[in-house]
């Protein structure tokens, strides 16, 4: 019998979870003596005790804790491998959870993820809008498979993959005092009321305004880019939005902003590659490939 055969590891994990050899045997459909024999064989090969008895049942020793840690990783990978390989029989299947600041690049992200889901009809995706800090936490804590955020976000120990770039523009009515400008500085924008959407872009503008010693004037907040454009058309203020989201058919003027921070780079943040499911890896490949194609065009 090999030291690390998967059945022995599974039995050992069950004993640690159940804190009982008898209960673990029942859970795994075997008898207590078989479980004890497997664990004794591992202890003999390792040369150290793996379990000790206590008032509340058995528990892992220091050596047992090390083995349990590796056993859980190995068994989880085996289960993931089995699930992914079995998916080839009926097509790739799965559920991908994405968190991202959708309102800031919905026009491109919607196309990107839509194209992926058309290719993999048995894959489902849920998308939640989050600010950068919440996005990172959701991925770290396993509540999301993929996070998308600005490159300046603190992604800590997550893997970072460049996704898309975009530029922020000032949007005004044709009659506005700044409409004739070829380019504006963000400091010029601060002289006017800015229509905003709650989220990471608003937070960044407030931060940049504070750095100049001024406050961002934002008397009106709305829920979508479309609502922002309508508010600007009605003369309720100006707006700062990604260039790609300016409605070309609307009666608006879009002006580049010269400040470096307005040149946005979005990144995909995920856990290490070996921890990702096959559908998640395929979505990442699809998103980055579409971004590269658009950059080339």
**266-280 pLDDT, tens digit each:** 889 998 877 888 889
**220-233 pLDDT, tens digit each:** 988 888 889 899 99
Residue 89, pLDDT > 60, answer: no
Cα–Cα distances (Å) from 182 to 49, 176, 202, in that order, read 75, 13, 24
Residue 295: the pLDDT is 59
What percentage of the chain reaches a pLDDT higher than 70?
90
CATH assignment of the domain containing 211: 3.40.190.10
| Residue keyed to tokens 């600007």 | 232
Domain contains 58: yes
Q: Find the farthest-apart pair of alpha carbons in the chain and give their distance in angstroms, rounded.
A: 87
- Phi first, then psi, for residue 91 (nearest 5°) are 95, 155
Same domain, 176 and 238: yes
Same domain, 259 and 238: yes
Domain contains 1: no
* Domain count of the fold of the chain: 3
Same domain, 105 and 157: yes
Same domain, 42 and 157: no
CATH assignment of the domain containing 20: 1.10.10.10
Residue 142, pLDDT > 90, answer: no
**What pLDDT band is residue 15 in, cutting at 50, 70 and 90?**
very high
Look at the pTM and tell me if it is higher than 0.85.
no
Distance CA 64, CA 191 (A): 65
Mean pLDDT across the stretch 27-35?
91
User: Which residue range forms the structural domain that includes residue 180?
Assistant: 166-263
Same domain, 24 and 75: yes
In 173-277, where does DSSP find H-type helix? 186-189, 200-211, 225-233
Decide which of 33, 64, 88 is a domain's last residue.
Answer: 88
């Amino acid at each position: 019998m090999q030291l690390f055969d998967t059945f022995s590891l599974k039995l050992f994990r069950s004993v640690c979870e159940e804190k009982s050899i008898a209960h673990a045997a029942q859970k795994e459909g075997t008898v207590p003596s078989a479980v004890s024999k497997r664990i004794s064989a591992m202890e003999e090969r390792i040369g150290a005790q793996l379990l000790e008895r206590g008032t509340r049942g058995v528990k892992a020793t220091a050596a047992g804790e090390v083995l349990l840690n590796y056993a859980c990783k190995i068994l989880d990978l085996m289960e993931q491998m089995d699930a992914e390989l079995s998916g080839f029989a009926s097509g790739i299947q799965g559920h991908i959870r994405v968190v991202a600041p959708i309102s800031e690049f919905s026009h491109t992200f919607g196309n990107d993820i839509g194209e992926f889901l058309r290719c993999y009809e048995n894959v489902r995706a849920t998308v939640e809008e989050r600010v950068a800090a919440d996005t990172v936490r959701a991925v770290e804590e396993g509540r999301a498979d993929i996070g998308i955020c600005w490159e300046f976000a603190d992604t800590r120990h997550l893997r970072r993959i460049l996704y898309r770039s975009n530029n922020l523009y000032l949007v005004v009515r044709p009659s506005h005092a700044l409409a004739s400008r070829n380019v504006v500085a963000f400091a010029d924008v601060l002289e006017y009321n800015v229509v905003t959407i709650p989220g990471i872009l608003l937070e960044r503008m407030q931060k940049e305004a504070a750095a100049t010693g001024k406050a961002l004037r934002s008397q009106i907040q709305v829920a979508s880019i479309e609502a922002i454009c309508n508010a600007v058309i009605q003369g309720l203020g100006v707006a700062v939005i990604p260039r790609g989201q300016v409605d070309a058919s609307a009666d608006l003027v879009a002006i580049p902003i010269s400040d470096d921070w307005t040149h946005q780079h979005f990144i995909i943040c995920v856990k290490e590659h070996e921890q990702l499911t096959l559908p998640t890896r395929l979505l990442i490949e699809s998103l980055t490939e579409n971004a590269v194609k658009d950059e080339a065009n």
